[in-house]
Structure 1
Amino acid sequence: MKTTNVYQLLLDMVKYEQNFGAYWIYLALKKGYLQKHDRPERIYDVPFTEEEIKELQHMNAQDVLGINRIKLYATEVKDKEYAFYFAENPVDAQRLHEQQFKAYAVKWHSVYRQFQHESVRLPHTEEWIYVFELKERFKVFPAFVGVIRVDE
């Protein structure tokens, strides 16, 4: 799909988890530097001040748009095998893990940043998909993703 205006570009940036670009457009719209129906190229003309750049960085750190609300957590279930969960926090992942495996996991790893733009092969379809796209297939969180064997 061709991005036709600034608003569509904002939606695409959020969808593909391009935080800096999403917050850039969001703040520019909020400050009136851009309008929703402007051409996407107009984002390069935004005259942000240093103070506004700090505001943008603060919004990103606070995740104002909820772009990174759902994360990927992992816990070891057997030697070199890890269960993966999409969840807002490790407590939610732990609760689902207890239901799934009838066991309490002691050590949790937040791995979304490392794997966000990695592709994985789905064994049942042989399809390759990016982790952030896989997350979109789940409608309810927390969600059990599966068990992956990690060979070094």
Structure 2
Amino acid sequence: MSELITVKEILEYATEFELYRLAHRVFWAVSTQRINLADDSNKLVEVIYDEVAVREMTNRNVLGIGRIKLYVVESFAQYAFYFANNPLEVSMLHREKFGEVTGAVTEAHRLLTKVMYFADLDIQISLIEHRKTIVQFPAYLGHAAAGQYILHRLDQHKGVRGIV
């Protein structure tokens, strides 16, 4: 006995994991009434898609997928993690918090699915799930050593562990 996976669940999954093309294809099918959100997701393979319209929606990013990205900055012999719209927001927040001019601001999309331990909060959670809990962006997440998945929040202008 297989459990029904709805079109709505596929759309939510594709949006959450930033599968741009799939999310926009499903959204196009629903918005043009080719399929309903409550339908079995297997019906998606039966839909005849207008690939030009889907590509145009994807290029315009109609669903607003991926506006907030994960960025990493080398800082205090570690790496500072931020959620922001763009590298400029990261640079400005980092300078404001730590008085340190940033070097390269690197987009770290591949780390979004990693489970991180937030030492100051004593929680272990994936960054993609943690992003859902943040209400204001840009947001400083913490510092981690290279190759480590333990984030520590540092005091402003000091580069030492402590409550921020």
Tell me, yes or no, if structure 1 residue 102 matches structure 2 residue 99.
yes
Percent identity of paired positions between Structure 1 and Structure 2 = 24
Q: What SS is found at the alignment partner of 2:140?
A: strand
Aligned to 1:139: 135
Q: Work out the CA distance in 1 between the residues paired with 2:147 and 2:33.
A: 51
Secondary structure of the structure 2 residue equivalent to 1:144:
strand
Higher helix share: 1
Separation (CA, whole Å) in 1 of partners of 2:32 and 2:140:
40
What letter is aligned with 1:119? Answer: V
Superimposed CA distance per residue, residues 34-90 of structure 1 (whole angstroms, 9 cap, x where no aligned partner): 123333332121122xxx3344344334422111000011111122x0111100001
CA contact under 8 A between 1:28 and 1:46: conserved in structure 2?
yes
8 A Cα contact 2:69 2:86, kept in partner: yes
Cα distance between partner residues in 2 of 1:83 and 1:150:
10
The structural deviation recorded for 1:8 is 4.7
Structure 2: runs of 5+ lacking an equivalent: 149-164
Equivalent-residue separation in structure 1 for 2:15 and 2:66 (angstroms): 9
User: Is the Cα contact below 8 Å between 1:33 and 1:46 reproduced in 2?
Assistant: yes
Aligned to 2:88: 91
Partner residue, 1:73: 71
Aligned equivalents of 2:71, 2:52: Cα separation in 1: 30
Q: Under a length normalisation based on structure 1, what TM-score does the superposition of the two structures give? A: 0.80
The whole-number CA distance in structure 2 between the counterparts of 1:17 and 1:3 is 23
The answer to whether the Cα contact below 8 Å between 2:10 and 2:41 also exists between their aligned partners in 1 is yes
Contact 1:70 1:87 in 2 (8 A): yes
The gaps in structure 1 that reach 5 residues or longer are none
RMSD: 2.4
Partner letter of residue 74 of structure 1? V
- Seen in structure 2, the aligned counterparts of structure 1 residues 3 and 119 have a Cα distance that, compared at 3 Å, is farther
CA separation of 1:107/1:16 partners in 2, compared to 1, >3 Å: closer, same or farther? closer
Structure number with the bigger relative contact order (C-alpha 8 A, sep ≥ 6) is 1
SS in 2 for 1:106: coil
| Partner in structure 1 of residue 20 of structure 2 | 19
* C-alpha displacement of 1:17: 2.9
Maintained 8 Å contact 2:80/2:142: yes
Q: Deviations over 1:4-29 (max 9, x none)?
A: 64335423432343333311211112
Count residues in correspondence.
146
